[in-house]
Structure 1
Amino acid sequence: MTTEPAPPAARVLAVIPARGGSKGVPGKNLAAVGGVPLVARAVLACTGSRRVSDVVVSTDDPSIAEVARSAGAQVVLRPVAIAGDTATSEAAVLHAMDAHEAMSGAATDVVLLVQCTSPFITSEEIDGVVAAVTDGGADTAHTVAPFHGFIWRDGGAESGADAAAVTNAAAAKVNAAAGSFGVNHDKTTRPRRQDRPQDLLETGAAYAMRAPGFRAAQHRFFGRTALVRTDAARVLEIDEPADLERARALAPLLDPRAGTPTRDDVDAVVLDFDGTQTDDRVLIDAEGHETVTVHRGDGLGIAALRRAGLPVLILSTETNPVVAARARKLRVPVLHGIDRKDLALKQWCEENGIAPERVLYAGNDVNDLGCFALVGWPVAVAGAHDVVRAAARAVTTAHGGRGAIREIAAWLLGPTLAR
C-alpha cells in the first residue's frame, strides 16, 4: 500500500504596516510599551508564531525599518503614494505581498495584516487566525473579543466631527430634542446579559486572508469570515496618547515580557541547543546525516551578547557534529554529550568565576530542570514542556528556533541590540 505524501504547508506571510507619520500619537510605532517599541512587539509576536513563514514590515520611515530588522523582520519600503494619512492598510499589504513575492520567488498562500497598535497581541492569536483559514476552510478570519456593553448613539450628532463641534451644553440640547437611541438594544427593555445575544468586538489586532482572494477583492472581508475569540482583557488599540499611557500601565500585568532580566541582572548566558536554538525537529537523510533549522535572528542576538562582554555557552546532551558546527559559527564554547548538564554547568561557573545566581539559562525540556534549579534566571522558550514553563522565571514569546534567543538578547541589551 502506498501512502499519499502530505500536502505542503501553507506559505504564510505576515505584513505589519508601520508608517512614520502618526498625528494622533507622534512617533507611535516606535513608542515603547514594556520597554519594547510597538513595531518590535508586533514582529516578535509574528516570529513566535508556529504558522507564519515570513514577516515583513511595510514602512516609509528609516528608524522604523532599523528597529524592524533588528527584531527579526524583513522590510519593504512603502512608496509615498500609499504612505499618507488616507492610505489604506489593504494597499500597504498588497504592495508588501507583491514585493516579498518578487524578492523570494515564492507565492503566498495566506497573508496576514498585523497591527502595531495592538500591543498585547500574542503568537497564539496569530496562529488562531491562520488556522481558521488553512484548517477551518474560511476565506478570511480576524480576532474578536466578547462584548457585553449597551451601545448608544446621539440622535442629533450626524458624525464624530459634528459632535466634536458643539459644546457639551449644546449637545445636551440636541440630544434632548432629537432623542438618543440604543444601537444594539431597545432602550425600553434592559435584558440581563445572559439573556442577550453574544456581541463580539473586532479587536483590530490580526486579520488572515487567502492571498488569491485578497488580490481579487482588494479588501480583508471577502467570502466566509471566521471570528477567532481572544481575551477581552488584552484588547487595547493605541490611537490617542491616553491609550499609550494605559498600555504602559497595563504592561506589567498583561505582558509576558514583564519581569524579564536586564543586563544588570546577568553575568553569563547559557543555552540549551535542541528545542531552544532549533524547533526540535531533526531531518535525517538516507545516509543518516542529521540537519536542523536555526534562526538567523538568534545568531544576531548571540553576536550582540558577545560584543556586550557577556560570556555565552552552549550546553547540550547530544553528541552531534551539528551542535559543534553551530558553536563554531557563533564563536562560542560548547559542552555537548553531557549526561548531567547541571553538574557541567556548575563546574563551568566555578572555572570561570561566575556566580550561578547571575546566570541566565534557556531551555525547553525536562532535562533542563537541573540547570533551572541551579541558576538565578531560568528561562523557558515558548512551546517548552509544561513542567519547564512552570519552573521558569521568565518565558519567551518566540518559540525555539524561531527567534527565542534573539528575544532574550533584546531583554538584556534592548530591542535594537545597540552596538
Structure 2
Amino acid sequence: MDILLGILAIIITLGLAYLMSNDKKHINYKGIGIMLLFQLLITWFMFSTELGKIIINGISAGFNKLIEFGTEGIMFVLGGFVVDEGGVFFFNVLLLIIFFATILSVLTYLKILPTIIKYFGGLISKITGLPKIESFNGVNSIFFGQSEALIAIRSQFHHLTANRLYIVSASAMSSVSASIVGAYIQMLPAEYILVALPLNMFSALMVASIIAPVTVPKEEDYVDVSNVTEDRSVFEAMGNGALEGGKIALIVAAMLIAFIASLELVNWIIQAVFAGVTLQQILGYILAPIGILMGIAPSEVIEAGSIMGTKIVTNEFVAMLEFQPLLDTMSEKTIGIVSVFLTSFANFSSIGIIAGTVKGIDSKKAGIVSGFGMKLLGGAILTSILSATIAGLFL
C-alpha cells in the first residue's frame, strides 16, 4: 500500500509541474524518465544493498572526521568558554561551516571540483538530452550554495533564455551547499542528508524541465570553467574560503534569530485569537494529505507536516532544530522522509537571494528571475516532495 501511495505522490507531483508548464509541447519526457530511473536506482542501492550502506557509512565517517578537524580549530579559538550542557549551536554547529568552506575553496582553486562537476554534468547531459549548462549547474549545486552555483556560470549568462534561467535558478534553490552539510549532519541522520543531495539534483532538473522546457542551439551548448575562481594561490583560496564560511555562519545565525523570533511572534498573535493553536499546527494540517501520500504514518503526519511547513516559511535550519527533539519519538521511515524534505533551500527567503545574485551578474536578467517568484518556490517545493517520496519508497 505504501508503494502505491508513493507512486501516486510521484504522479501528482509531476502532474502539478505539468500544469505549471509554460511549454507542454517541448517537454523532454525521455530525459525525465531516465532521471527518475536514476533516482530509484541510487536510492535502492544506498538503502537496500550492503555495498550501498558501506559507501554511505564511509562518506558519513569522512564527514564526521572532517567535523573532528573543524572542531579542533573551533576549540583552539573558543576553548576557554564554559557553556551549558548541550553546547552552543553557533559554536558547535555553525562555525564548522568555516572549515568546510575552506576545503571547498581549495578544491575549486586546484580545479578538482570544477573538472569533476563538468564531466559528470556532461555525462548527465549526454544521457538525458538536457543542455550542458543546466546539467553542469545541477551537479554544481550539490557542492555550492545558491549564489556560488550561479556565479560559476556567470560568463554564460548571456546565453540563458527565461526558461533556462528558471532551470538554473530552480537547481540552486532546490539544493544545499556542501559547506553546510557538516552542520546538517550534526542535527539529523547523515545517511538521509547524503542521499538527499543526488536526489535533489535530479528532482530539480526533472521538475524544472517540465515547468520550463528548453531547446538549445548546438553552438551555445557548452560549459566554461576557466574562471570559476579568482584565487591565485592555495593560501589565498584558504583565506577566502574561511572568510566566506565565516560570512555564511553569521548570515545563518542572523536568519535563525530573525526567523525563530518572528515565528514566536506569529504564534503569539495566532494564540491570542485561537487558544492553543500554532502556525506549525496549521501547516501540519495543510500538508497532511501529501504527507500521507509520501509515506508518513497517519499518526505522525501532523507533526511531520508542521516541520515541513516550518521549513517552507522560514528555512531548513529552523525546521531541523524543531525536528531534532522528535527523532526519538518518530518511526525511521518518517525521519527519513522528513530529513530528505528538509535538505534544500526551498523557502521564501531563497527567492530574494537568487534574484539578488542574478542582479549582481546581469541586471537585465534579474528582472526575469524576480518575475518567477512563487513559481520558483512552487517548483522547489515539488522538488522536495519528489525527493522525499522517492526516499520513502525504500524505507
| Fold match (TM-score > 0.5) | no
> What is the TM-score normalised by the length of structure 1?
0.22
TM-score computed with the length of structure 2 as normaliser:
0.23
Larger Rg: 1
Where is the helix percentage greater, Structure 1 or Structure 2? 2
Question: Which structure features the higher share of strand residues?
Answer: 1
